[in-house]
Structure 1
Amino acid sequence: MLPKCFAQNCLSSGTGKLQTDLGYTKLRWLLTVVGLLLYFTDIWTDLGLSLKYLLDEDYIWSALTLAFVVAGLLVTQIFSHAWYEDDLDDALVDHRREAVAWGASRRTLVVIHLCGVGIFSRYYDLLKSSFGVVWLEKESLDKAERREVHYGLFCHATDLSMLKLFEAFLESVPQLLLQIYIIQDHGQASVLQYVSIIFSFFNIAWSLVDYRRCLRRSLPHVQEMPSGLPTAIYILYKLFTIGSHVLSYSLLLILSPYCVIALTAILWFLGTLWSHVLGTNFCTTRRHEIVYRIVVGFILTHTFFNVKGKDTKRDMAVYYIVYSFVNMASPLLLGSFKPEVQTEMFFQVISGLIIGGTALGIVFLLSYYRYLHPREKIRDGDEVDAIGNDIKTINRMSRFLVP
Structure 2
Amino acid sequence: MGKFNFSPVDFFFTCAGLLCLLADIVLDVYASVSFYKEKAYVSLGLLMLFLVGSSVLTQVYSWLWYSYEDFERNTKVEKYLNPSQLRTLHVFQLGIYIRHASVVETSLLRICKHDNVSGDLAVYLSHDLSMLRLIETFSEGAPQFVLMLTLLLRHGQLDPITGAC
2:38 is equivalent to residue 56 of structure 1: yes
| 1:83 paired residue among 53, 58, 65 | 65
Per the normalisation by structure 2, the TM-score is 0.89
Q: Does 1:112 align with 2:89?
A: yes
The one-letter code of the counterpart of 2:60 is I
Q: CA deviation at 1:102?
A: 4.1
Q: Is residue 43–residue 69 contact of structure 1 (8 Å, CA) maintained in 2?
A: no
**Alpha-carbon distance, 1:174 to partner:** 1.4
What does the per-residue CA deviation read over 1:246-281, in whole Å, with 9 as the maximum and x for residues that have no partner? xxxxxxxxxxxxxxxxxxxxxxxxxxxxxxxxxxxx
Cα gap change, 1:147 to 1:52, in 2 (>3 Å): same
Change beyond 3 A, Cα 1:195–1:91: closer
Residue in 2 that maps onto 1:294: none
Larger radius of gyration: 1
Match of 2:106 in 1: 129
Change (3 A) 1:107 1:185: same
CA distances 1:127-171 after superposition (whole Å, capped 9, x unpaired): 12211321x225xxxxxxx43321111111111111111101110
Structure 2's unaligned 5+ residue stretches are none
Correspondence for 1:30: 12
Distance 2:48 2:72 in 1: 37
Counterparts of 2:92 and 2:72 in 1: how far apart (Å)? 25
Cα separation, 1, equivalents of 2:92 and 2:135 = 18
What does 1:169-318 correspond to in 2, within 5 Å?
Answer: 169-196=138-165
Tell me which of the two structures has the higher relative contact order, counting C-alpha pairs closer than 8 angstroms and 6 or more residues apart.
2
Q: Which residue is 2:126 aligned to? A: 157
Q: Mind listing any 5+ residue stretches in structure 1 that lack a counterpart?
A: 1-9, 11-17, 93-99, 139-145, 197-403
Write out per-residue CA displacement over residues 83-140 of structure 1, whole angstroms, 9 at most, x where no aligned residue: 1123335558xxxxxxx94432112101211110111221112112211321x225xx
Amino acid at match of 1:78: V
User: Could you say if the C-alpha distance between residues 90 and 42 of structure 1 is closer, same or farther in structure 2, counting changes exceeding 3 Å?
Assistant: closer
Out of 160, 163, 166, the position equivalent to 2:135 is 166
1:147 aligns with 2:127: no
Summarize the alignment of residues 66-105 of structure 1 with structure 2, pairs less than 5 Å apart.
66-90=48-72, 101-105=78-82
Instruction: State the Cα RMSD in Å.
Output: 1.9
Distance (whole Å) between structure 2 residues aligned to residue 176 and residue 81 of structure 1:
27
Quick one: which amino acid aligns to residue 121 of structure 2?
Answer: G
Q: Which amino acid aligns with 2:5?
A: G
Distance across 2 between alignment mates of 1:55 and 1:114: 29
TM-score by length of 1: 0.38
**What amino acid is the match of 2:38?**
D
Letter in 2 for 1:114: V
Matched position secondary structure for 1:104: coil
Distance 1:80 1:30 in 2: 23
Q: Percent identity among equivalent residues?
A: 24
What CA distance in whole angstroms lies between the structure 2 residues aligned with 1:30 and 1:74?
Answer: 27
> Which structure is higher in helix share?
2
1:199-234 CA-partner distances (Å, limit 9, x unpaired) = xxxxxxxxxxxxxxxxxxxxxxxxxxxxxxxxxxxx
